[in-house]
């Protein structure tokens, strides 16, 4: 008999999530039914959408029930199988949830190819909520091209880090916005940004004016709020403003602050485009093939910040919301 540890949401957060909103419990795993597999969860992807699912029905990405394991995508390893589709030892991607073990019907899971990259890459650079999101936003919506000046907010996080590199590969000049010196240094030294702006130090609008004297052609926004306004004030004619997310708003979704300077859009014949990554599902194989190629050629990397232990899952959500990581945040249960 296998015993699993699970992190349950016991109370919906009021504003910023805190450890006491969660509880770690143990449970015996039941016997497998036909078609099912028992998985050991190897890596959990700590994604911004998790925060909004903790809210009630108004959550941007749907809601989860209280007293159930927190929703999370992840990579699992098949420990036992009663399915012809998956064998013991296979690595799979799917909705693992915040737990050490899970049982799913095999047809709910995607077997991942570990021959070229570690399985957890399918949560990061090749992950739907990370690399493929950055591709959909930067390439499909932002239509980035050589010579563009591109600004990315939340640039030192998972989606942001990939978005910056995609823009560099396209031949753009890239400026990342992040909180703090260490993250700005990471963006210029490790990720290849041409410059970085610390939104926590000084006037971001002024800094963007200095860094983008001819205006911003593509703004890839992960943050919303004041950061979006500062960028809008600096867009060039015919700019593309891509709304990937608005993490500055996720702790208070009933009082979302919209952009004040949205009239820069008509003034400058610009476009503001929002997207959800699943809208581009037909392109996922092409995106994966291209990103894999860039990884192999050494043109793309996604540093990881790994937190060990399922008990640290609540702390990881808190770290994501407060910027306590660089690159892709993962938990190994
Ligand atoms: N459209 C889609 O289909 C889709 C899919 C996946 C993700 N997303 C969006 O992509 C964005 C990034 O998600 P991720 O999972 O990759 O997270 P992440 O960027 O790895 O982590 C979030 C980062 O946001 C920054 N942040 C948090 N609160 C902030 C605030 N009030 N103001 C400014 N920055 C703040 C923090 O960095 P600092 O230290 O720099 O503040 C933190 O590191 C989110 O908005 C998410 O909703 C969209």
Return per-residue pLDDT of the chain as tens, 333 residues: 899 999 999 999 999 999 999 999 999 999 999 999 999 999 999 999 999 999 987 667 788 999 999 999 999 999 999 999 999 999 999 999 999 999 999 999 999 999 999 999 999 999 999 999 999 999 999 999 999 999 999 999 999 999 999 999 999 999 999 999 999 999 999 999 999 999 999 999 999 999 999 999 999 999 999 999 999 999 999 999 999 999 999 999 989 999 999 999 999 999 999 999 999 999 999 999 999 999 999 999 999 999 999 999 999 999 999 999 999 999 999
* Nearest protein Cα to ligand 1, atom 19: 157
Atom of ligand 1 nearest to the CA of 137: 1
Q: 287 with 135: CB under 8 angstroms?
A: yes
* Nearest protein Cα to ligand 1, atom 7: 129
Q: What is the pLDDT of residue 57?
A: 78
CA of 330 to the centre of ligand 1 (A): 14
Atom of ligand 1 nearest to the CA of 274: 1
203: number of Cβ within 10 Å: 11
Q: Which of 129, 130, 222, 277 to mutate to test the pocket of ligand 1 (most atoms within 8 A of CB)?
A: 222
CA of 16 to the centre of ligand 1 (A): 14
CA of 37 to the centre of ligand 1 (A): 33
Whole-number Å distance between alpha carbons of 237 and 149: 12
CA of 153 to the centre of ligand 1 (A): 8
Whole-number Å distance between alpha carbons of 210 and 74: 41
Whole-number Å distance between alpha carbons of 297 and 285: 18
Across the strands, what pairs with 99? 6
* Nearest protein Cα to ligand 1, atom 13: 48
Across the strands, what pairs with 173? 149
CA of 225 to the centre of ligand 1 (A): 12
Start-to-end C-alpha separation, the chain: 18
Phi and psi at residue 6, to the nearest 5°: -130, 145
Instruction: Determine the angle formed by the axes of helices 225-232 and 204-211, rounding to 10 degrees.
Output: 40
Q: Which of 55, 128, 159 to mutate to test the pocket of ligand 1 (most atoms within 8 A of CB)?
A: 159
Reported residue count of the chain is: 333
Kindly report the CATH number that applies to the domain delimited by 3-123+303-332: 3.90.180.10
CA of 248 to the centre of ligand 1 (A): 8
Kindly report the CATH number that applies to the domain delimited by 131-278: 3.40.50.720
What is the pTM for the complete model shown? 0.97
Name the residue ranges covered by the structural domains of the chain. Answer: 3-123+303-332, 131-278
- Sequence-distant contacts of 91-97: CB under 8 A, at least 24 apart: 91/42, 91/119, 92/37, 92/39, 93/119, 93/122, 93/123, 95/71, 96/39, 96/41, 96/44, 96/72, 97/6, 97/41, 97/69, 97/70, 97/71, 97/72
24: number of Cβ within 10 Å: 16
| Cα-based distances in Å from 168 to 21, 122, 184, 188 | 40, 22, 16, 12
CA of 285 to the centre of ligand 1 (A): 24
Whole-number Å distance between alpha carbons of 137 and 273: 9
Q: 208 with 234: CB under 8 angstroms?
A: yes
Residues with CB under 6 A from ligand 1: 47-49, 129-130, 133, 154, 156-160, 178-179, 183, 222-223, 227, 244-248, 275-277, 320-321, 323, 325, 329
Q: Which of 15, 128, 157, 305 to mutate to test the pocket of ligand 1 (most atoms within 8 A of CB)?
A: 157
């Amino acid at each position: 008999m296998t015993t699993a540890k699970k992190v349950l949401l016991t109370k919906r957060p009021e504003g910023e999530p805190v450890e006491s909103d969660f509880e770690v419990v143990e449970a015996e795993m039941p016997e497998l039914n036909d078609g099912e597999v028992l998985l050991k969860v190897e890596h959990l992807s700590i994604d911004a959408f998790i925060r909004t699912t903790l809210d009630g029905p108004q959550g941007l990405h749907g809601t989860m029930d209280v007293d159930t394991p927190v929703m999370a995508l992840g990579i699992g390893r098949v420990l036992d199988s009663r399915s012809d589709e998956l064998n013991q030892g296979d690595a799979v991607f799917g909705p693992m949830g915040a737990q050490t073990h899970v049982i799913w019907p095999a047809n709910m899971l995607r077997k991942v190819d570990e021959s070229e990259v570690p399985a957890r890459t399918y949560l990061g650079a090749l992950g739907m909520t990370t690399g493929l999101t950055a591709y959909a936003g930067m390439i499909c919506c932002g239509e980035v091209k050589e010579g563009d000046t591109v600004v990315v907010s939340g640039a030192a996080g998972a989606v942001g880090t990939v978005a910056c590199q995609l823009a560099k590969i396209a031949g753009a000049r890239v400026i990342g916005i992040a909180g703090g010196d260490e993250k700005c240094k990471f963006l210029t030294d490790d990720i290849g940004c041409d410059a970085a702006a610390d939104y926590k130090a000084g006037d971001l609008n002024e800094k963007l004016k200095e860094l983008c004297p001819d205006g911003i052609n593509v703004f890839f926004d992960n943050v919303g709020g004041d950061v979006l306004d500062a960028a809008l004030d600096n867009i060039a004619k015919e700019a593309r403003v891509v709304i990937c997310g608005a993490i500055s708003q996720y702790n208070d979704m009933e009082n979302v602050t919209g952009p004040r300077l949205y009239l820069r859009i008509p003034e400058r014949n610009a476009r503001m485009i929002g997207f959800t990554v699943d809208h581009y599902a037909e392109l996922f194989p092409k995106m994966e093939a291209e990103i894999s190629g860039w990884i192999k050629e050494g043109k793309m990397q996604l540093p990881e910040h790994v937190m060990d232990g399922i008990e640290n899952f609540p702390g990881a959500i808190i770290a994501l919301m407060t910027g306590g990581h660089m690159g892709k945040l993962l938990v190994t249960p």
